[in-house]
């Protein structure tokens, strides 16, 4: 099981996520988000634990120059992109780093299109669709019907996100078959305010849900075909 804790915007939360064994940490560069950080803020947070898990930079329909500007201050290992597959490909080509494409889905019938959209990319972030009126495409604390993902074996790795919590993540993993999960709202006390206990509990609950698959058993994990690079 791999776990990403997204929306890192304070050092204590970051330190807690790293110490609890997060496999990825996410930084949101979308100004309308309650988790928005500037590149300088992100770099200062990351400096708390140099050499920590891969840093995932989250961008919504970015200009390539916006990403380049962030990279001048904040090194990122992976990009999580909300936008078209073509934009995601262009980002991958320009920056030479893995790109995860976010796709909101609500039915099994939408999965083939999601898989198509991910062709040539490194992973799919499978999320719930934003609720009506939401002013951001993710991070809305809404869950999808996990059962639509049961038995899905796309050609590229995928992570499950949207509305996950320490309380429901085991059920989500069992129902969907996900081997990588991502959370933001579910480890917060209010939008943008991370809760340290909930971060620890989420990571523990995720690992306990799939005890045979941990970051330290990479070979076994990769053999499932859902390894996330
Ligand atoms: O977190 C945000 O504010 C955000 C803004 C714009 C696009 C995506 C955003 N978040 C995405 C994530 O943090 C995760 O991929 C996931 O959607 C988390 O969802 P949730 O746990 O429901 O907050």
Question: Is the CB of 62 inside a 6 Å radius of any atom of ligand 1?
Answer: no
Query: What pLDDT score does 218 carry?
Result: 47
Task: Please compute the mean of the pLDDT values over residues 193-219 and round it to a whole number.
Answer: 80
Could you tell me the distance, in angstroms and rounded to a whole number, from the CA of residue 190 to the centre of ligand 1? 14
For 112-147, write each residue's pLDDT tens digit: 999 999 999 999 999 999 988 898 998 999 999 999
**What does the alpha-carbon distance between residue 62 and residue 64 come to, in Å, rounded to a whole number?**
6
What percent of the chain lies above the pLDDT cut of 90? 86
| Mean pLDDT rounded to a whole number for the chain | 92
Q: Residue 152: is its pLDDT beyond 50? A: yes
**What does the alpha-carbon distance between residue 228 and residue 2 come to, in Å, rounded to a whole number?**
8
Could you tell me the distance, in angstroms and rounded to a whole number, from the CA of residue 96 to the centre of ligand 1? 24
Task: Please compute the mean of the pLDDT values over residues 174-180 and round it to a whole number.
Answer: 95
Query: What pLDDT score does 132 carry?
Result: 86
Question: Is the CB of 164 inside a 6 Å radius of any atom of ligand 1?
Answer: yes
Q: Residue 104: is its pLDDT beyond 60? A: yes
In which band, very low, low, confident or very high, does the pLDDT at 183 lie, cut at 50, 70 and 90? very high
**What does the alpha-carbon distance between residue 101 and residue 99 come to, in Å, rounded to a whole number?**
6
Query: What pLDDT score does 172 carry?
Result: 97
β-partners of residue 36 are 28
Query: What pLDDT score does 51 carry?
Result: 79
Please report, to the nearest 10 degrees, the dihedral formed by the alpha carbons of residues 56, 161, 125, 127 taken in order.
-140
Of residues 100 and 220, the one with the higher pLDDT is: 100
Q: Which CATH superfamily does the domain covering 2-222 fall into?
A: Aldolase class I (3.20.20.70)
Q: pTM score, two decimals?
A: 0.92
DSSP letter for 100, please.
E
For 72-97, write each residue's pLDDT tens digit: 999 999 999 999 999 999 999 999 99
In which band, very low, low, confident or very high, does the pLDDT at 221 lie, cut at 50, 70 and 90? very low
Could you tell me the distance, in angstroms and rounded to a whole number, from the CA of residue 136 to the centre of ligand 1? 8
Question: Is the CB of 138 inside a 6 Å radius of any atom of ligand 1?
Answer: yes
Could you tell me the distance, in angstroms and rounded to a whole number, from the CA of residue 131 to the centre of ligand 1? 13
Question: Is the CB of 187 inside a 6 Å radius of any atom of ligand 1?
Answer: no
Task: Please compute the mean of the pLDDT values over residues 14-40 and round it to a whole number.
Answer: 97
β-partners of residue 103 are 126
| Atom 7 of ligand 1, residue of closest alpha carbon | 138
**What does the alpha-carbon distance between residue 140 and residue 19 come to, in Å, rounded to a whole number?**
26
Question: Is the CB of 128 inside a 6 Å radius of any atom of ligand 1?
Answer: no
SS3 119: coil
Query: What pLDDT score does 215 carry?
Result: 47
**What does the alpha-carbon distance between residue 40 and residue 82 come to, in Å, rounded to a whole number?**
22
**What does the alpha-carbon distance between residue 163 and residue 111 come to, in Å, rounded to a whole number?**
19
In which band, very low, low, confident or very high, does the pLDDT at 210 lie, cut at 50, 70 and 90? confident
Could you tell me the distance, in angstroms and rounded to a whole number, from the CA of residue 34 to the centre of ligand 1? 10
């Amino acid at each position: 099981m791999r776990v990403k804790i997204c929306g890192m915007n304070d050092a204590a939360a970051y330190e807690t996520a790293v110490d609890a064994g997060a496999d990825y940490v996410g930084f949101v560069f979308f100004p309308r988000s309650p988790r928005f950080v500037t590149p300088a803020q992100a770099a200062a947070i990351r400096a708390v634990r140099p050499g920590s898990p891969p840093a995932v930079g989250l961008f919504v329909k970015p200009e390539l120059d916006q990403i380049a500007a962030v990279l001048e201050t904040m090194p990122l290992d992976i990009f999580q992109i909300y936008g078209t597959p073509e934009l995601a490909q262009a980002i991958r080509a320009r920056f030479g780093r893995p790109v995860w494409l976010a796709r909101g889905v609500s039915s099994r019938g939408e999965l083939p299109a999601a898989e198509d959209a991910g062709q040539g990319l490194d992973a799919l972030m499978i999320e719930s669709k934003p609720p009506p009126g939401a002013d951001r495409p993710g991070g809305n604390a809404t869950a999808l019907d996990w059962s639509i993902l049961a038995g899905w074996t796309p050609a590229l790795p995928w992570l499950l996100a949207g509305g996950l919590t320490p309380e429901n993540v085991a059920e989500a993993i069992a129902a969907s078959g996900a081997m990588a999960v991502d959370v933001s709202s579910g480890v917060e006390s209010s939008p943008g305010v991370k809760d340290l206990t909930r971060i620890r509990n989420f990571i523990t609950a995720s690992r306990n849900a799939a005890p045979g698959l941990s970051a330290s058993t990479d070979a076994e994990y990769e053999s499932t075909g859902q390894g996330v690079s």
